[in-house]
Structure 1
Amino acid sequence: MFLVFVFKGGHKMDKDNKGKKSEKDERLSKRLCYVLRYGAVKEGLTLYEGAFVDLDQLLELPLMRHHTRQEVIEEADISLSHRGAKRFETKKENGKLLIRACFCRHFEENPYHEGSNVPKLSEACIQFVCTNLQEYDLEDFPDEHLISKMIQKMKRQSKLNNAALRQLLVPVLEHLDLSGVYITDSTLKLVWRNCSNLRVLSLKDCGYIMTDSIMEQLVKKLPHLESLNLCACKHLTDRSAWALSKHAHNLKELNLSWITTISETSIIDIMTNCSQLVFLDIYDHRISQDSRRIIADIARERKMKIVLKGLTDNGIAPENPCSLLPNFGKVW
Structure 2
Amino acid sequence: MSQDHGARPEGAPKSSRAAAHSGPRRHRPQVFKLDEAEITLAPEPLEAEIAALDVPAEARPRRRGISWSGLFWSAVGGLASLGLYLAVSRLITDLFAQAEWLGYVGLALAALLVLASVIIVAREVAGLSRLSKLDDIRARAASALAGDDRPVADTVARDMLRLAAEKPTLARARADLESHLGGIIDGADLVRLTERTLLPTLDARARQMVSDAAKSVSVVTAVSPKALVDLAFVLFTAARLVRSLALLYGGRPGALGMLRLAGHVVGHLAITGGMAAGDTLVQQIVGQGLAARLSARLGEGVVNGLLTARLGLAAIAVTRPMPFTALPAPRLADVATGLVKKAEEEVSAGGAV
* Shorter-chain TM band: under 0.3
TM-score by length of 1: 0.23
Greater helix share, structure number = 2
* Structure of larger gyration radius: 2
Greater strand share, structure number = 1
TM-score by length of 2: 0.22
Structure number with greater CO (CA < 8 Å, separation at least 6) is 2
